[in-house]
Amino acid sequence: MRVLITGGLGFVGRALTKLLLDHGHEVVVIDNLSTALVSPTWFAGRSQFDADIADVRDVEAPTGRIDRIVHLAGPVGAFHILDRPRLEAEILGLARHVTNWAVNMRVPLLFLSTLEAEDTLVRPQAPRNTFIRAKRRAEMEIAFTLSRASLPYWVLRSCTIAGPGQSSAAGFAVPRMMEQAQTGRPITVFGDGHRSHELLHVDDVARAVEISLFSPAGTYVARGMHTRVIDLAQRIKSVTASRSEIAYLNPRRAVHPLYREPIEDLQVFSPSVPGWAPKESMDRILSDAIVLSRRCERRRSVS
């Protein structure tokens, strides 16, 4: 099977690209490298891999045979979606462009969304930020357009993703806390630390996407269990044997007035992708983050 992945060199994209190549599939990546985790040379020597370094919207139509499209491209991370007045237009524009590819090429499409989009159904009166609203609108437009075209599509809603290669620069909690713990800086917890997050290893998410491409898909890519932020911070402090203190901050003062964390009381969702369940534990997520953080520190010391 030949799979086209937008954002295929990013955090989730890299993991999915590697998994599909390892399983004998051909992969075509379209990525502008703005937030890429690896360069195309990372897959050098893999004859089944091809990359087009371009913005998705600059590609009129992918070339060659395509059997499936996976849409991952777009801004992610609390810091990357701040002060972007055209954020909703950007997310919707990307989704519409990729959806047009699918319709014109008669190819099924999978869109990886966020579990928070479900909250617009659970609590429609709750205020939404632009990111979640845009994701939900993208889901609906993909569903409407591909249903009308009689094409298969999958919308997967994932909980918070973590693992090797994730950058603290985008505002993700695990790499930020890990770097702070290993450098002796205070481990910053936003608010009182009682917000809870559901975490999945990026490799588990990649497996869920791959399974969905070859079978009727469910909706929820989730662990079914939440972890409080303060408990996560204490666990990171323990596994790194860090002497760092835990510091409580108001993110709207310390980071940005528009900063917004994931929904605090989002209900727990059980995994619903047939044949899939998380394999990687929280310890594996943290151990991978430790290895990456140490590599980064070695690079800094050399430079």
- CATH assignment of the domain containing 236: 3.90.25.10
230/248 Cα distance (integer angstroms): 9
**Do residue 91 and residue 191 come from a single domain?**
no
Q: Do 170 and 298 fall within a single domain?
A: yes
The pLDDT tens digits of the residues spanning 269-298 come to 777 888 899 999 998 999 887 765 455 444
Q: State whether 78 and 213 are in the same domain.
A: yes
83/207 same-domain check: yes
Residue 275 located in a structural domain: no
Domain that holds residue 253: 163-196+226-266+280-302
What is the predicted pLDDT for the residue at 162? 93
Please report the pLDDT score of residue 93 as a whole number: 95
Instruction: Tell me the per-residue pLDDT of 167-221, one tens digit each, with 9 for 90 and over.
Output: 888 778 899 999 999 999 999 998 888 888 889 999 999 999 999 998 877 788 9
Domain presence at residue 95: yes
Residues 142 and 50 in one domain: yes
Asked whether residue 217 falls in the same domain as residue 90, the answer is yes
Residue 155 inside a domain? The answer is yes
Q: Confidence class of residue 259 from pLDDT cuts 50, 70 and 90?
A: low
Q: Is residue 273 part of a domain?
A: no
DSSP string, 123-159: -TTS---HHHHHHHHHHHHHHHHHHHTT--EEEEEE-
| Domains: count for the chain | 2
Q: Are residues 253 and 180 located together in one domain of the fold?
A: yes
Q: What is the pLDDT of residue 260?
A: 62
Give the per-residue pLDDT at 263.
53
Q: Is the pLDDT of residue 258 over 70?
A: no
- Cα–Cα distance, 124 to 128 (Å, whole number): 9
Q: Do 21 and 112 belong together in one domain?
A: yes
Quick one: 148 and 55 in the same domain? yes
| Averaged pLDDT, 20-43 | 90
Q: Which CATH number belongs to the domain containing residue 34 in this structure? A: 3.40.50.720
271 in a structural domain: no
- Evaluate whether residue 274 is within a structural domain: no
Note whether 143 and 135 are within 8 A (CB): no
Q: Are residues 179 and 204 in the same domain?
A: no
- Taking 70 as the threshold, does the pLDDT of residue 152 lie above it? yes
Say if residue 176 is in the same domain as residue 233: yes
Stretch 69-87: mean pLDDT: 83
10 plus 157 within the same structural domain: yes
